[in-house]
Amino acid sequence: MLNINTIKNRIVNRDFTVGIIGIGYVGLGLAIKFGEAGFRVIGFDLDQAKINNINNGSSYIQHIPSDRIFNLIRAGQLKATNDFNELRKVDASLICVQTPLTRQHDPDLQFIVETADAIVKNLKAGQLVCLESTTYPGTTEEILLPHLITSGLKVGEDFFLAFSPEREDPGNEQYKLENTPKVVSGITPACLEIASLLYAQVVRCVVRVSSTRVAEAAKLLENIYRAVNIALVNELKITFDSMGIDIWEVIEAAKTKPFGFQPFYPGPGLGGHCIPIDPFYLAWKAREYGITTRFVELAGEINNTMPLYVIQKLADALNMRKKSINGSKILVLGIAYKKDVGDLRGSPSVEILELLLAKGAQVDYSDPYFPNLLLTRHSKIQLESISITEESIQFYDAILIVTDHSSFPYEMIYKSPALIVDSRNALRQRGFAGFNVIGA
């Protein structure tokens, strides 16, 4: 049996190599943090462009400066590779791969399974394996563990298995990895102890929970809580709009209550990797137990219909001007799923663009984070972001605000002759209101 104290001493003394599998938005930030804490770090990915960028000291994520990567590469603390045989060199494998949905909205765990297969071929005594990817309760025990024990090693004695959900929030300047509490769980007490100690080297607060299922469920609860409440205000936006009531003013009034209310805000749909997906992960797993999560699934359905609602509001507003979407010149502002971030994952803007094109609109877009965009839903359409100037926005029939980046010149936009359909309340919250501005 391994001497756990020896492993703990190696962690504290930084004589420990951390492998990060999947070096995207979550994995790259985690790799940098461990590297800056003094650990040797190897990033694993199938994307050769990401590997080349890292090894050249260059960042491909907007909020991560290149100099942080360059300094670690120069110091020999960080490298990236697509050779998964190098997993035998690491002491911890932290899994940060995608967990998407199938077309039927069922969990797609192919990346976790493929990662588990790569790890088990290189698993050695003393290694820690920790899953960070969002998934349904039971994944660590039911998917990862059976794969890993085929190595002949015993969990909790020869190797350690844990789950610690990522809590990445792009664009949040207040909470970063180090000051966001880190939920950690383990298959056995020894697994929990090793995983907790490792994460304690890079985060200020480690929250231990009793099982991997609890940690997996906690991550789902965090995001389903947001999805359900956003669905609620989205539904109320549609309801109040039919009554001639402004949902934004209602929320401002309601949030003056100092207790029992937390404001959530409507929008054109949900984006990002977690919030649009997590409700369906839980719903799928619940069916295994004969339970239908009606409330959760309804929230997903409401949020998924919001792009269609925005298109309908645009169509109605154009109709009032004796125009139709077909043939109209429309400028979509914002392609990222979230304000002031360069992240396109699950963005409702992409669906809105594709719907407009399918209805015959002449569409342009503007987004400082995405100079070009390839739409592939029906056919490959290449678009390029336009610069917003007084001249460039003079000839649009409508401007549709989908993502309210701070850098957009809203006063200039407001003064344009175009119909403006604002799905984010971007103009009114800046004091610009008028007959040409329609909420959506």
Kindly list the catalytic residues.
274
Do 353 and 363 contact (CB within 8 A), yes or no?
yes
- Gap between the Cα atoms of 416 and 78, Å rounded: 49
Instruction: Give the type of residue at 434.
Output: G
The CA dihedral of 199, 204, 210, 215, to the nearest 10 degrees, is -80
Distance of CA 255 to the CA centre of its chain: 27
Q: Which residues contact 17 (CB under 8 A, 6 or more apart)?
A: 39, 40, 41, 42, 89, 90, 91, 92
Q: Residue with structure tokens 């003079």?
A: 394
Q: Which residue has the tokens 């304000």?
A: 339
Task: Please name the residue that has the structure tokens 């949020």.
Answer: 303
| Backbone phi and psi for residue 31, each to the nearest 5 degrees, phi listed first | -60, -45
Say how far apart CA 184 and CA 214 lie, in whole Å.
10
| 138 close to 213: Cβ distance less than 8 angstroms | yes
Residue from 396, 393, 340 nearest 368 by CA = 340
Closest CA to 21 of 120, 108, 129: 129
DSSP assignment letter at 141: I
Q: Given CA atoms 385, 425, 169, 69 in this order, what sign does their dihedral have?
A: positive
Using DSSP's 3-state secondary structure scheme, residue 68 falls into: helix
Residue 81 pairs in a beta bridge with 44
Q: Are 21 and 95 a contacting pair, CB within 8 Å?
A: yes
User: 114: which residues sit within 8 A by CB, 6+ positions away?
Assistant: none
